Amino acid sequence: MGPTTAAGAKRPTTIGNAKGLTTVAGVLLLLLSLVACSADGGTPPTPDDFATVDGAPNLEGVRSADGARGVDAEAVVAAVQEFFDAMEAADVPRSRAIMAEGARFYSVRTAEGRPVTSTFTAEEHLDRLPTSGALLERMWSPSVQVAGDVATLFAPYDFHRDGAFSHCGTDAFTLYRTADGWLVTGATYTVQTVGCEANPAGPPAG
């Protein structure tokens, strides 16, 4: 994820263990699913229900507490992609519509061997969006977990500003479901400028 900070700002960052964070989130969501299923008499999911295949989401295996499969995961991915698309378009109303009220974002970088965090609110993101330049964020191989009306999405990403590569990292989005669909409640993400994994899609078009 790339915050709408001043153009040219560099934030070399890496996170310790994204897979470990994914595991913790998965355990928490599995527990939430078990509680929800117990309440409504549904069949509790197993860890296999949240499996990924070769780093890509196994949408048939993503399962919510009410037993829904596939469709929920696709909707979560679509919601995060909508967040990216609205940012790329610098469309403030569209960006506001995909975020929950009070959404907050955190970045984690490493400086002199120590993690350094910064944060901004949804409103700060919206305020800076029109003057942040041309922004492009691309994720791939998202790993989605759904438990009832809450969800997480983990994915590697790359970020470009004004047509030039800026940084890469790992996104960890949280969302919840409303009557109108999934909303982004926030994200924690890493930022690094070296050692980036190549985006399978190759360089951005144009």
- Residue 79 is inside which H or E element, if any? helix 71-88
Q: 173-194 burial, b for 16+ CB within 10 Å, e for fewer?
A: bbbebeeeebbbbbbbbbbbbe
Is 202 domain-assigned?
A: no
pLDDT at 48: 43
CA distance 187 to 164: 23
Is 140 domain-assigned?
A: yes
Is 6 domain-assigned?
A: no
pLDDT at 58: 46
**Cα radius of gyration (the chain):** 17
CA distance 16 to 132: 29
Q: Map tokens 């229900």 to a residue.
A: 49
Is 195 domain-assigned?
A: no
Per the confidence metrics, is the pTM higher than 0.75?
Answer: no
The one-letter amino acid code at 26 reads G
pLDDT at 21: 42
Tokens representing 10 are 């560099």
The overall average pLDDT reported for the chain is: 78
CA distance 11 to 62: 34
Is 147 domain-assigned?
A: yes
Is 4 domain-assigned?
A: no
pLDDT at 23: 41
Handedness of CA 165, 169, 170, 174 (dihedral sign): negative
Residue 86 belongs to domain with CATH number:
3.10.450.50
Is 3 domain-assigned?
A: no
User: Which positions of the chain have pLDDT values less than 50?
Assistant: 5-68
Helix (H, G, I), strand (E, B) or coil at 103: strand
CA distance 108 to 87: 20
Number of compact structural domains in the chain: 1
Tokens representing 125 are 């993101």
The range of the structural domain enclosing residue 168 comes to 18-190
Is 166 domain-assigned?
A: yes
